[in-house]
């Protein structure tokens, strides 16, 4: 199985990668997003939504677990799939995942699940697993780790709603930083699909 890695330097580049990916997506597809708080999962989903031509307003859900963004009949992709955007951060048990009934919309939508790793794989044999990773090692920004963006491991992660709130005070949160986007395609649906249409990969590993 191939792992594709792409570099992105800014939030808008991350969205452009997502826009390219969206061109490959169709109803029934499941995209599992992982990466630490503030890694860019919602930013990426916004790019997907734009390219899919669905209703706008993709935000980090605070207490809403699932948002359905219907395809816009008068948008640029009429008849395309809806986008179901899930934040599984607070979903701990398989029962809680089942309760939100993603199966119901899976076939007619592109389903994107933030914090979906180890939670929703059972929903589909075919899926894309995408991890957003802050640049590490020699590529760390000169100023050191972004203030407030890395949860103290002793305290545990901060719910995304609190980070959203902090955003309005902490402009550092919006500074563009390099990320690596790591993509793994699982299942026969993706056999032979060339993800270099997203952009030139910085690395591919078999």
Ligand X SMILES: Nc1ncnc2c1ncn2[C@@H]1O[C@H](COP(=O)(O)OP(=O)(O)OP(=O)(O)O)[C@@H](O)[C@H]1O
- Which residue among 6, 18, 31, 42 contacts ligand X (CB under 6 A)? 42
Stretch that binds ligand X, among 19-27, 33-41, 71-79, 98-106 (CB under 6 A): 33-41
Residue 160 near ligand X by CB under 6 A: yes
Which does residue 173 bind out of ligand X, Mg ion, none, counting CB within 5 to 8 angstroms by kind?
Answer: ligand X
Give the rounded distance of the alpha carbon of 157 from its chain centre: 18
Residue 35 near ligand X by CB under 6 A: yes
Residue 174 near ligand X by CB under 6 A: yes
Least distance CB 87 / Mg ion (angstroms): 6
Residue 35, classed as helix, strand or coil, is coil
112-141 residues in contact with ligand X (CB under 6 A) are 114
CA distance 193 to 206: 14
Tokens of 120: 């929703």
Strand 179-186 and strand 3-8: the pairing is antiparallel
Nearest 5°: phi and psi at 127? Answer: -165, 160
Considering Cα of 147, then 145, then 16, then 181, what sign does the dihedral take? negative
Residues of this chain that bind ligand X (CB under 6 A): 8-11, 14, 35, 37-43, 60, 114, 160, 163, 173-174, 176-177, 179
Residues of this chain that bind Mg ion (CB under 5 A): 41-42, 60, 114
């Amino acid at each position: 199985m191939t792992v594709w890695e792409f570099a992105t330097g800014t939030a808008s580049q991350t969205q452009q990668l997502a826009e390219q990916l969206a061109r490959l997506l169709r109803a029934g597809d499941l995209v599992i997003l992982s990466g630490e708080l503030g890694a860019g999962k919602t930013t990426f989903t916004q790019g997907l939504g734009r390219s899919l031509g669905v209703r706008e307003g993709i935000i980090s859900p605070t207490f809403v677990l699932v948002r359905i963004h219907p395809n816009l009949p008068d948008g640029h992709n009429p008849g395309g799939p809806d986008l179901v955007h899930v934040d599984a951060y607070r979903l701990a048990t398989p029962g809680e995942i089942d309760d939100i009934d993603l199966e119901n919309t899976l076939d007619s939508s592109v389903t994107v699940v933030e914090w979906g790793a180890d939670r929703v794989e059972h929903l589909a044999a075919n899926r894309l697993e995408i991890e957003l990773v802050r640049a590490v090692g020699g590529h760390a920004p000169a100023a050191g780790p972004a203030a407030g963006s890395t949860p103290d491991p002793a305290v545990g992660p901060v719910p995304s709603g609190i980070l959203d709130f902090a955003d309005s005070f902490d402009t550092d949160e919006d500074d563009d930083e390099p990320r690596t986007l790591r993509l793994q395609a699982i299942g026969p649906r993706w056999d032979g699909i060339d993800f270099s249409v997203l952009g030139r990969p910085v690395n591919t590993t078999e």
